[in-house]
């Protein structure tokens, strides 16, 4: 990978958020050292597992896999050159994160959040994200700030290239990165789930021309974090979420359709 920004991020790839820490099992601290003793084969197996998970996860984030798409076990096993059991494991993990829906007798499908679920996601984000930012400001280090800025540069770069897929993915990842850097693993895990669900919702309910997060809003939030102004960062985040939610066309049972407005010349 030659992109200097990616290299600058340290791992030679995008700051994939807490992949190693987001296994369905709680990442209990005492079990960590024991993992080092696992056999080479087991490690290889886990890595392969993660890689497939990552590929499917990223394809969903980038809208290459659409909500409601059937994920055929046999086909995926063929594509990735692994057993169906391995694919089942990955799908179970994605189902655990609500990204995939497992329907008995029918199989696995990319989740298709309903309007009700979409509203719930925003309600949860309005609670979680201010808490994330408060904690991030409290624990801020120059390194954390650099990670945020580098991520922002990747976003700006993707927008400049008009790479819509990358923009949608990076926009979502900004929020997960903030949660990861805040250092609360429970918040980070929730945020990761909520941001991939938001990506699916954007596909389902957004106007086709828009791409989730507005261009300059993340950088304003980062500026407030840099000044350790938690109140401003929180306020900007709530406004940012309001903008994302209001850009979606979530017309459902709860809302009366205003026929007069529709037919007004
Ligand atoms: Zn955003």
142 Cα–ligand 1 center, Å:
21
Phi, psi of 110 (to 5 degrees): -60, 130
214 Cα–ligand 1 center, Å:
7
240 Cα–ligand 1 center, Å:
7
pLDDT at 164: 84
In whole angstroms, how far apart are CA 261 and each of 205, 207, 208, 265? 20, 19, 22, 9
Protein residues placing their CB within 5 Å of the ion ligand 1: 213
Residue matched to tokens 């609360």 = 184
Instruction: Pick out the chain residues at pLDDT < 70.
Output: 1-49, 207-212, 251-259, 262-265
Angle at 134 between CA 129 and CA 135, to 5 degrees: 95
pLDDT at 210: 58
Paired tokens of 84: 């169906």
pLDDT tens figures, 94-133: 998 889 999 999 999 999 999 999 999 999 999 999 999 9
pLDDT at 207: 60
33 Cα–ligand 1 center, Å:
36
243 Cα–ligand 1 center, Å:
9
Residue 157: which of 221, 241, 215, 243 has the closest Cα?
A: 215
d(CA 51, CA 60): 14
pLDDT tens figures, 64-84: 888 999 999 999 999 999 999
pLDDT at 97: 86
Q: In the chain, which residue ranges form alpha helices assigned H by DSSP?
A: 4-8, 32-35, 40-61, 73-80, 84-96, 115-138, 142-160, 164-182, 185-205, 217-226, 230-246, 259-263
The DSSP output letter for 248 is: B
174 Cα–ligand 1 center, Å:
7
195 Cα–ligand 1 center, Å:
9
175 Cα–ligand 1 center, Å:
6
3 Cα–ligand 1 center, Å:
23
pLDDT at 218: 94
């Amino acid at each position: 990978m030659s992109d200097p920004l990616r290299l600058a991020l340290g791992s030679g790839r995008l700051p994939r958020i807490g992949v190693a820490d987001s296994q369905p099992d709680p990442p209990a601290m005492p079990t960590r050292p024991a993992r080092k003793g696992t056999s080479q084969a087991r490690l290889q197996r886990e890595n392969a597992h993660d890689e497939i998970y990552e590929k499917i996860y990223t394809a969903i984030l980038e809208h290459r896999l659409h909500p409601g798409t059937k994920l055929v076990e046999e086909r995926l096993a063929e594509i990735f050159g692994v057993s169906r059991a391995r694919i089942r494991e990955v799908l179970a993990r994605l189902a655990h994160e609500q990204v995939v829906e497992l329907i008995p007798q029918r199989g696995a499908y990319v989740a298709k959040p309903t309007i009700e679920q979409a509203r719930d996601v925003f309600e949860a984000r309005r609670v979680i994200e201010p808490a994330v930012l408060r904690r991030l400001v409290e624990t801020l280090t120059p390194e954390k700030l650099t990670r945020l800025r580098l991520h922002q540069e990747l976003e700006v770069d993707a927008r400049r290239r008009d790479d819509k897929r990358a923009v949608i993915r990076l926009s979502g990842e900004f929020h997960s990165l903030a949660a990861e850097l805040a250092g609360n693993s429970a918040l980070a895990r929730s945020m990761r789930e909520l941001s991939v669900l938001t990506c699916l919702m954007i596909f389902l309910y957004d106007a086709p021309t828009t791409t989730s997060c507005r261009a300059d809003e993340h950088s304003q939030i980062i500026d407030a974090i840099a000044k350790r102004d938690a109140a401003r960062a929180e306020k900007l985040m709530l406004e940012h979420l309001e903008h994302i939610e209001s850009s979606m066309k979530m017309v459902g049972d709860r809302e009366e359709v205003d026929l007069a407005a529709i037919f007004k010349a």
